[in-house]
Amino acid sequence: MTEQAPTMEAISLSKDFRLGRGQILHAVRDVSFNLYSGGVVALVGESGSGKSTAARLLAGQERLTSGAIRLEGKPVSVGTRHAFRQYKSQVQYVFQDPFASLNPVHTVRYTLERPVRLHQKDANVGQELDTLMDQVRLTPARQFLAKYPHELSGGQRQRVSFARALAARPSVLLADEPVSMLDVSIRLEMLALLDDLRKRLRIAMLYITHDIASARYFADEVLVMYAGQIVERGPAEEVTQQPRHPYTQLLIASAPDPDNLGTTLRKGAGVKRDKPAEGAPGGDLGCPFSTRCPLADDRCRQENPALTQLSQTRAAACWHLDQTTS
Amino acid sequence: MSPVLEITDFSVAYRTPGGDVRAVDHVNLSLHAGEVIGLAGESGSGKSTLAYGACRLLRPPAVITAGSIRYRGRRMNGQAGPAEVLKMRAEQLQRLRWREIAIVFQSAMNALNPVLSVRDQLLDVIHAHLEITRADARAKAASLLDLVGIPRTRLRSYPHELSGGMRQRVMIAMALATDPEVVIMDEPTTALDVVVQRDILSQIAELREQLGFAILFITHDLSLLLELADRIAVMYAGQLLEVGTAAEIKREPAHPYTKGLLSSFPSLRGPRRDLAGIPGSPPDLRNLPPGCPFMPRCAHATEACKDIDMGLKPVGTSADPEHVTACPFVLPEVQP
């Protein structure tokens, strides 16, 4: 990591949801990370791992149960409408589904004009729209501005949602599975566009995904989440090439491998099929992955391991790190 | 060996006020007994329309405009030749569907009936398609769950009590209830996590080995097919652009679109590769250019592409009838 000050700091974020009957779901537990200007941090995990909840906490859309968020060194408060709006002009969110996140009855122009007027009081709106359309490469701008969402392809719609997020000139972009609803052939182009935007506009980006392979190519740092906790973190190339946590290892072993023509599928990954014991009473005891982990022993079932620093940039939460080197 | 399912010159159009949308355009594809064919294509490429069309499951405004679908199952030995699906009467179709060709639908989340227990849904299928006693049917329902690795106690569960992976397994159990010859799987693992996805795929591979059915596996994820399928058919804008064995598609992709797809997914293993992707976006079927539909996105496109014959031809100079492509201009490059 670079020696610059972080744009955004997430400090020990936790979020509990009450489920009724006294049950509590620990959706996010003690999650900390920093986002740097021009850098990408990937939050990788399966559905239900808490990665979207973590992003919603950062976006100010959920109240923290405990923990703190700092933006450019200052503690964040979104208590009042005014404070929330100010925060929003610096931290923007891109949703997963461009088919659902754009209002079908508004033109692209209307969708983009509103955030521009809201967040940049004295901007020349027309000029600003042209700049935005140019940034997301929807040209000719005039032609696209007049269109409705249904007249656009999936990729074009997602470009519009990028432009909408950029309209506030944010310093932080939270991208929640921005390409997973798109066709394979255009995903790469969209990631390249995001990559270009964060470099050119020096945006700090959180990239949420279930596809760890895309994180390898697109992110600087990878955080692997399981049942609300970060179980492994480190530079993208290191985490994907030498994973240390058994869950990361399973995740990588499970990804389709085009170099394995019809060979490995029949062997199975050798992992039990239990779901994580999240939400169950006493679920805070023990390692959440212990119900599926091939290395689990009594200690794993009783004590939840904390993140252990493996090097200056890497950490993993497992009692058996001595056994997990490949 | 003659194929179990032979799709010849098959075309489907959607009738719209603005004219016909040709969703499937003169497709030829054969499925052999016990084989896994992967049908790869992006959304709107016509891959689901092709598969459902082959069982005549399409509703208006979809119309089958040309072609023939010949089915030849092992239970149809009494007949002289293969049966023509497009000429079947309603009761013949009813015997064909599920009994001979079963479908595992996309999004198991919605394909199961939320107010019926797993047992009742299984019994429903069994009684509709097999003539067996109630007791036998119940025993069969239980053994079907064994087959897909779900504990029998789950027979009483309702869909909302099952995880996504389990629901998908129930869907597979239902499809296998009648011991079909062909199983069509329409993106069966798309909504699942990679770990569960791998679990289910290895289960599918295992069951295929055990029961010997053929699979038409529809997906947009080519990387998954390279591992699972015996042969792969690449579809784009309603047409097949390339068909070959998984190894051929991986090592010597012949069509520029296939090459683009192969360089579109980031790899996890080995050194970082340069990723190219495919510029542009999938075509609008209402407004296709003449000639090759991939031409606007193709780096090798020339004037000649505007009036090429899109029929599948053997790749390169080798007369290997297994590996065919619609592009006559680009020679395969052997991948490292």
Query: In chain A, which residues have their Cβ closer than 8 Å to the Cβ of B193?
Result: 46-47, 210
Handedness of CA A134, A138, A139, A145 (dihedral sign): negative
> What is each CA distance from A254 to A188, A246, A292, B5, B207, in whole angstroms?
21, 12, 14, 32, 19
Q: Using an 8 Å CB-CB cutoff, list chain A residues near B335.
A: none
In this complex, the residue of B42, B149, B267 whose CB is nearest that of residue A185 is: B42
Instruction: Please state the rounded mean pLDDT for residues A105-117.
Output: 92
* A254 → chain B, closest CA residue: B195
Per residue of chain B (336 residues), give pLDDT as tens: 678 999 999 999 999 888 888 899 999 999 998 899 999 988 888 888 999 898 888 888 889 999 899 988 877 655 667 888 888 888 888 888 888 899 988 776 678 888 999 999 999 999 988 889 999 999 999 999 988 888 888 999 998 888 888 888 899 999 998 889 999 999 888 777 888 888 888 888 888 988 889 999 999 888 889 888 999 999 999 999 999 999 888 888 889 999 888 888 888 887 777 777 788 878 888 878 888 899 888 888 888 888 888 888 888 655 567 888 888 876 555 544
User: Half-sphere exposure of residue A104, counting CA atoms within 13 Å on the CB side?
Assistant: 3
Q: How far apart are CA B292 and CA B311, in angstroms?
A: 10
- Residue of chain B whose Cα is closest to the Cα of A236: B268
A vs B, Cβ pairs < 8 A, gives 138
Q: How far is A230 from chain B (nearest CA, A)?
A: 18
Give the closest of B195, B205, B262 to A265, CB-based.
Answer: B205
CB contacts of A262 in chain B (<8 Å) are: 227-230, 246
- Give the chain B residue whose CA is nearest to the CA of A249: B195
Whether the full predicted model's pTM is greater than 0.80, yes or no, is yes
Whether residue B336 has a cis bond before it, omega within 30° of 0: no
Residue A137 C-alpha, separation from nearest chain B C-alpha, in angstroms: 11
User: With 80 as the cut, is the pLDDT of residue A258 above it?
Assistant: no
Interface contact A265-B201, CB threshold 8 A: yes
Report chain B residues whose CB lies below 8 A from the CB of A250.
195
**Fold topology of B5-229:** Rossmann fold (3.40.50)
Question: Does A212 contact B247 at a Cβ distance shorter than 8 Å?
Answer: no
The answer to whether the beta carbons of residues B70 and B85 sit under 8 Å apart is yes
3-state secondary structure of A33: strand
Helices marked H in chain B: 47-54, 90-96, 108-111, 118-129, 134-147, 164-175, 194-211, 222-228, 246-251, 256-262
Coil vs helix vs strand at B57: coil
Interchain proximity A256–B277, CB inside 8 Å: no
* A residues 169-208 closer than 8 Å to B (CB): 183-189, 192
Q: Which two tokens stand for residue A256?
A: 């389709």
Using the beta-carbon criterion (under 8 Å), do B276 and A264 form an inter-chain contact? no
- The CATH 3.40.50.300 domain(s) of chain B lie at 5-229
Q: Is B227 in contact with A255 (Cβ distance < 8 A)?
A: no
ipTM: 0.79
Q: What are A47-63's pLDDT values in tens digits?
A: 888 888 999 999 988 88
Which of A46, A226, A261 is the mutation pick for testing B, counting most B CBs within 10 A? A261
Topology of domain A8-238, per CATH?
Answer: Rossmann fold (3.40.50)
Q: Which helix (H) or strand (E) holds A252?
A: helix A246-254
**Nearest CB partner across the interface for A155, out of B199, B205, B281:** B281
